[in-house]
């Protein structure tokens, strides 16, 4: 039997989107676009500039960390600049602030020195690997198909935050480990394989 005889191949699999409004803990990775603007502090090639519109954004990949949709991926753009006006950039900055609040356990109304310091980062590199609680939304892709996206981070003032995130950041500092709990890092850290049988949504 030839591999290329597809008469006996299984039917293609179909997947449902993560439900709109679902709260999921995600880890952010930025897919670098190679665009820098030192005047804005945008260095390291993290930003992407659209060749046609001139808009600038972070191309975010969000991986669900636990729960029913663990290892599923979602993709969303975080706006930095638009030739049409400042609103898209303001929305992007607001999202990044909420992501930091969520990841570091900062209440949005907390203006203490510790909270203010936690909302200062050195650059986009500090967002790499950030784990936070997010709310799933839906958009339509360029082909007219729905896709799951991240547009909002859930902060500690949400009723389900503590239950889903656990103790994190300055809102619930963890006690330092005892000497007996400290172990040397593995010389070759391993990454668990991506689960099969779970949907991965393309842009």
Q: What is the mean pLDDT, run by run of 10 residues, along the chain of 203 residues?
A: 84 82 97 97 97 97 94 94 96 97 94 94 96 95 88 95 79 40 37 34 33
Strand partners, 149: 137
pLDDT of amino acid 139: 92
Q: What is the pTM of this model?
A: 0.77
CA distances 21 to 49, 91, 110, 138, Å, are 30, 19, 26, 9
Say if CB 148 and CB 141 are below 8 A apart.
no
Domain boundaries along the sequence of the chain = 20-167
pLDDT of amino acid 12: 81
Say if CB 63 and CB 71 are below 8 A apart.
yes
**Among 42, 29, 159, which Cα is nearest to 99's?**
29
At residue 22, what are phi and psi to the nearest 5 degrees?
Answer: -65, 145
Q: Pairing mode, if any, of strands 42-49 and 56-64?
A: antiparallel
pLDDT of amino acid 169: 53
Say if CB 21 and CB 136 are below 8 A apart.
yes
- What is the Rg, in whole angstroms, of the alpha carbon atoms belonging to the chain? 20
């Amino acid at each position: 039997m030839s591999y290329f005889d597809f008469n006996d191949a299984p039917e293609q699999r179909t997947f449902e989107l993560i439900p709109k409004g679902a709260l999921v803990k995600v880890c952010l990775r930025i897919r670098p676009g190679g665009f820098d603007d030192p005047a804005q502090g945008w260095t390291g090639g993290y930003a992407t500039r659209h060749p046609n519109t001139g808009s600038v954004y972070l191309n975010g990949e969000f991986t669900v960390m636990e729960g029913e949709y663990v290892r599923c991926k979602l993709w969303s753009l975080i706006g930095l600049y638009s030739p049409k006006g400042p609103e898209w950039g303001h929305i992007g900055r607001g999202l990044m602030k909420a992501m930091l609040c969520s990841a570091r356990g900062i209440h949005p109304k907390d203006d203490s020195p510790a909270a203010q310091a936690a909302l200062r980062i050195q650059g986009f590199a500090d967002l790499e690997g950030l784990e936070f609680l997010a709310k799933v939304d839906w958009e339509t892709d360029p082909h007219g198909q729905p896709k799951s996206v991240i547009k909002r981070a859930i902060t500690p003032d949400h009723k389900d935050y503590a239950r889903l995130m656990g103790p994190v950041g300055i809102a619930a500092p963890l006690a330092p480990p005892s000497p007996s709990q400290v172990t040397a890092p593995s010389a070759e850290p391993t990454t668990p394989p991506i689960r099969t049988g779970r949907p991965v949504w393309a842009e």
